[in-house]
Amino acid sequence: MSANIAPSKPSAAKPETRAAANGDLKSLPMAEVEKRLGSSPDGLSHAEAAKRLTQYGPNELEEKKQNVLLKILSYFWGPIPWMIEVAVVLSAVVRHWPDFFIILVLLVSNAAVGFFEERQAGDAIKALKARLAIKARVKRDGKWAKPPARELVPGDVVRLRLGDIVPADARLLDGDEVSLDQSALTGESLPATRNPGDAVFSGSIVRRGEIGALVYATGGRTYFGKTAELVETAVTVSHFQKAVLTIGNYLIMLAVALVSVIIAIGIYRGNPILTTLQFALVLTVAAIPVAMPTVLSVTMAVGARLLAKKQAIVSKLVAIEELAGVDVLCADKTGTLTQNKLTLGDPFCLDKIAADQLILAGALASRAENDDTIDLAVLGGLKDKNALKPFEITHFMPFDPVHKRTEATVKDADGKTFKVTKGAPQVILKLSANAASVQATVDKAVNDFAARGFRALGVARADGDGQWQLLGVLPLFDPPREDAKETVATAARMGVKIKMVTGDTLAIARETAKTLGMGANILDGATLGDSKNEETAAMTKSIEDADGFAQVFPEHKFHIVDVLQKHGHIVGMTGDGVNDAPALKQADCGFAVSGATDAARAAASIVLVAPGLSVLIDAIKESRKIFQRMNSYAMYRIAETLRVLLFMTLAIVVFNFYPLTAIMIVMLALLNDGAILSIAYDNVIYRNQPEAWNMRVVLGIATVLGLVGPIAAFGLFYLGDRVLHIDRPQIQTMMYLLLSVAGHLTIFQTRTRGPWWSTRPAPILLIAVIGTQVVATMICLFGFLVTPLWWGWAAMVWAYALVWFLLTDPVKLLAYRVLDATKAAPALQSKVQPRSGAKAAPQSEAEPRPPTKADAPKPVATAEPGANAKTAPQPDTEPKPSAKP
Alpha-carbon separation of residue 801 from 292, 639, 751, 783 (angstroms): 25, 16, 18, 21
Q: Of all helices (H) and strands (E), which one includes residue 211?
A: strand 211-217
Question: DSSP letters along 373-418, please?
Answer: HHHHHHHHT-SSTTTTTT-EEEEEE---TTT-EEEEEEE-TTS-EE
Alpha carbon of residue 840 to chain centroid:
19
Torsion of CA 202, 207, 212, 216, to 10 degrees: -10
Phi and psi, residue 517, nearest 5°: 70, 35
Q: How far is the C-alpha of 677 from the C-alpha of 295, rounded, in Å?
A: 6
Instruction: List the catalytic residue out of 332, 375, 478, 855.
Output: 332
SS3 159: strand
Phi and psi, residue 495, nearest 5°: 85, 15
Whether 741 and 716 have beta carbons less than 8 Å apart is answered as no
SS3 573: strand
Whether 38 and 15 have beta carbons less than 8 Å apart is answered as yes
Which of 309, 299, 278 minimizes the C-alpha distance to 86? 278
Question: DSSP letters along 746-789, please?
Answer: HHHHHT-SS-TTSSPPPHHHHHHHHHHHHHHHHHHHHTSSS---
End-to-end Cα, the chain, rounded Å: 27
Which amino acid is present at 160?
Answer: L
Q: How far is the C-alpha of 491 from the C-alpha of 507, rounded, in Å?
A: 24
Strand pairing partners for 418?
410, 463
Residue 332 falls in the annotated catalytic set: yes
Alpha-carbon separation of residue 474 from 370, 381, 460 (angstroms): 20, 10, 11
Q: CB-side exposure of 683: number of CA atoms within 13 Å?
A: 14
Q: How many CB atoms are located within 10 Å of the residue 710 CB? A: 21
Q: SS3 string of 579-635?
A: HHHHHHHHCCEEEECCCCCHHHHHHCCEEECCCCCHHHHHHHHHHHHHHHHHHHHHH
Q: How far is the C-alpha of 544 from the C-alpha of 85, rounded, in Å?
A: 56
Whether 496 and 325 have beta carbons less than 8 Å apart is answered as no
Q: How many CB atoms are located within 10 Å of the residue 193 CB? A: 13
Which of 169, 290, 320 minimizes the C-alpha distance to 630? 320
Q: How many CB atoms are located within 10 Å of the residue 232 CB? A: 17
Which of 398, 555, 394, 378 minimizes the C-alpha distance to 475? 378
Q: How far is the C-alpha of 777 from the C-alpha of 715, rounded, in Å?
A: 20
- Indicate the length of the chain as a whole number: 885
User: Catalytic amino acids?
Assistant: 332
